[in-house]
Amino acid sequence: MAGEPDPELSRVRLGIAYDGTDFHGWGRQSGLRTVQGELEAALETIFGRFGPPPKLTVAGRTDAGVHAIGQVAHLDLTARQLDKFSRASNGGNISDLAHRLNGIAGLESDVRVLTAELVSADFDARFSAVFRSYRYRIADAASVWNPVTRRMTLFVPGQLDLGRMSEASETLLGLHDWTAFCKSREESTNIRTLQRFEWKRDEDQTLVATVQADAFCHSMVRALVGAVAAVGEGKLEPADLVRIRDGKVRTSDFKVLPAKGLVLLGVGYPPESEWASRSQKTRAKRELDERL
């Protein structure tokens, strides 16, 4: 049955961080540098001699230019691969895998494996997740523009209204069809639960959005932030965003903001006893009760 774990394989969970500026996104693409491509090449160097090179399943496929400090992925190792790795590490455990991968990447690499741990085969980095959390940074005329953070901050002229933006974000929360804010993909649904959407100004008065949902469809976070930024500029009213969302049609009323300001903060999972049931629930096609 599709999605069922192989009992002869050992599953490893990785915690990953990267500066997305010079990557063409997470997913492998022929001839292009991607996060998955870099990590799987390193995994092949370590394990490829002892069986099929491991492949990564990721919690969320980030676009080109998007950064991460809390990305999660998993891979499966054969018994021979796990045994050979342990021997090569002089009896070390799987946590040494992070050190080996980082050694291959180099001290100044723009991708870093933070953790590696053995988990049960019920864990699925993508389907076991209960939320993904992102941050988006916008420096406007009220902000102290810091060139040190330029690779992860969008700089805009003029001043945005934080109060209007917070009001607009609050109106969007809940389970909805987000087609108006997503690049649709064939045979996929755009129904998601937006759990959190908040704004604040940090110590430099930079506007910082925190956006959390059970999952996001393609370009959804950058579209949501762009729509709310349009409210902050006075180009849209807070109520307009609900109208656009419920219209379920892509619109040119706002801009999808660039990837550079977006960082994947983390991915949340339920207790281990609920990993399998969560995966089954996530794989089921989402439906929206139009009566709500």
Mention every residue, 6+ apart, whose C-beta is less than 8 A from residue 267. Answer: 59, 60, 70, 71, 72, 125, 129, 131, 132, 133
Q: How much is the CA Rg of the chain, to the nearest whole Å?
A: 21
What is the C-alpha to C-alpha distance for residues 168 and 260, in angstroms, rounded to an integer? 23
What is the C-alpha to C-alpha distance for residues 202 and 144, in angstroms, rounded to an integer? 10
Contact 58, 73 (CB under 8 A): yes
Q: Cite the active site residues.
A: 63
How many C-beta neighbours within 10 Å does residue 162 have?
A: 16
Per the DSSP assignment, residues forming a β-bridge with 138 are: 154, 207
What is the C-alpha to C-alpha distance for residues 27 and 258, in angstroms, rounded to an integer? 18
